[in-house]
Homo-oligomer: A and B are copies of this chain.
Amino acid sequence: MNLSPLNERFVLHFGEMGSRWGVNRTVGQIYAVLFLSPEPMNADQIVDALGISRSNVSMGLKELQSWRLVKLIHQAGDRRDYFETPKDVWEIFRTLAEEKRKREIEPTLTLLRDALMETPLDEAERHAQQRMREMHQLIELATGWFDEVQRLSPDTLENLMRLGARVQKVLEFASFLRPGKDGKD
């Protein structure tokens, strides 16, 4: 691996984390290298940095593009493909959330909706459906909320997060806004 010690540790760590996030080690490493790089990199530069095969890099980049975590760009007067990661970490966070949603949440919601349409055959199925209903409600609520939050501008979003300990206080106002619906505490 052809990286400074500082970068190497980061890249190795992201390799490990990658596997926990549903991509393989190499894909995590390619992302990490691009994330740290001051300039876009082409595939051969990544091969050189990580010491893996050219074809592996090609497949990894495909995967990262499908996650919209890297962008393909061209340099003037150079036929090769260059890649970079979006600069804004907020944007990255958002993209990741959207993709996770598309790949994990939506299929689960579809499954749950289908299951809830069926007529339970016995007491066990009735109970199973009740559990699925609870899960469905939780996911709908959480993702619906996430949608709303995501619709905010990055500034507003950062703002919201910085509120921190004030959430409680804000909720008091919120309940004031909608008398009779929430306002439990």
Interface residues of A (CB under 8 A from B): 4, 6-7, 9-10, 13, 17, 19-22, 35-36, 38, 89-90, 93, 103-104, 107-108, 111, 115, 118, 120-121, 123-125, 127-129, 131-132, 134-135, 137-138, 141-142, 144-145, 148-149, 152-153, 155-156, 158-171, 173-175, 177-178, 181-182, 184-185
Do residues A155 and B174 form an inter-chain contact, with CB atoms below 8 A? Answer: no
Q: Do the beta carbons of B165 and A174 come within 8 Å of each other?
A: no
CB distance from A156 to the nearest CB of B (A): 5
The answer to whether B123 touches A144, judged by C-beta atoms less than 8 angstroms apart, is no
Q: How far is the CA of A182 from the CA of B170 in the complex (A)?
A: 14
Residue in B120, B121, B169, B177 whose beta carbon sits within 8 Å of that of A166 in the complex: B177
